[in-house]
């Protein structure tokens, strides 16, 4: 299975390494043609505003939305959750395919980063989560399942083929969310 990592900003090596460890063939997605070649997409963290500018300039917004609506499994982590969300407090939605409202950088500044073990529905063991300037989910629509919470806030959401996490699992080599999404492919 070919799994794409949206490579518009930042380092995608950790996600690619996790996907390869799980037996997928990772591909960097920078163009609509790259997107056409993959079965699953991972949208990594970074700066959501920059991801939006680069996705628009690469003409990827429409193709990603189209593939998401057609059922392509997609995992968004941290800023990936923000760009998937239909509503963004203090910002504009990008892909808008996940029926959720998120608030950017709600866990604080870079110095407020932390790690925690999170119990995720459907995964046997706790998932190690790295929160770095993470979003907080303010509201979810009726078709969205909350798979995990941390301190009362949803941190992993699922809506059909879409899975979004407010944290970075890849930074500590955590594979279970990627495996979960690959299983949807």
Residue 168 among the catalytic residues = yes
Q: Report how far residue 31's alpha carbon sits from residue 122's, in angstroms, rounded to the nearest whole number.
A: 33
Range of the domain at 102: 2-182
- Look up the CATH number of the domain holding residue 163: 3.40.50.880
Total domains in the fold of the chain: 1
Mean pLDDT for all residues in the chain: 92
Convert the pLDDT of each residue in 81-119 to its tens digit: 999 999 999 888 999 999 999 998 766 656 567 899 999
CA distance 97 to 111: 31
Which of 15, 78, 150, 174 does the annotation list as catalytic? 78
Contacts 24+ apart (CB under 8 A), 109-112: 109/133
Top-confidence residue, 111 or 180: 180
Residue 29: φ, ψ to 5°:
-105, 115
What is d(CA 181, CA 134) in angstroms, rounded to the nearest whole number? 21
pLDDT at 185 over 80: no
Q: Give tens-digit pLDDT for 17-56.
A: 999 999 999 999 999 999 999 999 999 988 888 899 999 9
Question: Could you say which of 15, 150, 168, 178 is catalytic?
Answer: 168
């Amino acid at each position: 299975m070919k799994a794409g990592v949206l490579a518009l900003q930042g380092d995608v090596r950790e996600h690619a390494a996790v996907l390869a460890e799980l037996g997928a063939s990772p591909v960097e997605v920078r163009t609509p043609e790259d997107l056409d070649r993959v079965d699953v997409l991972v949208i990594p963290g970074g700066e959501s505003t920059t991801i939006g500018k680069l996705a628009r300039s690469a003409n990827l917004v429409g193709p990603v939305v189209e593939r998401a609506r057609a059922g392509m499994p997609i995992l968004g982590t941290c800023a990936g959750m923000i760009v998937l969300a239909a509503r963004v407090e203090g910002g504009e939605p990008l892909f808008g395919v996940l029926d959720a409202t998120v608030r950017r950088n709600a866990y604080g500044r870079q110095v407020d980063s932390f790690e925690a073990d999170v119990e995720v529905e459907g995964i046997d063991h706790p998932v190690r989560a790295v929160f770095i300037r993470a979003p907080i989910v303010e509201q979810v629509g009726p078709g969205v399942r909350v798979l995990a919470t941390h301190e009362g806030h949803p941190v992993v959401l699922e809506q059909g083929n879409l899975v979004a996490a407010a944290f970075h699992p890849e930074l500590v080599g955590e594979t279970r969310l990627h495996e979960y999404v690959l299983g949807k492919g």
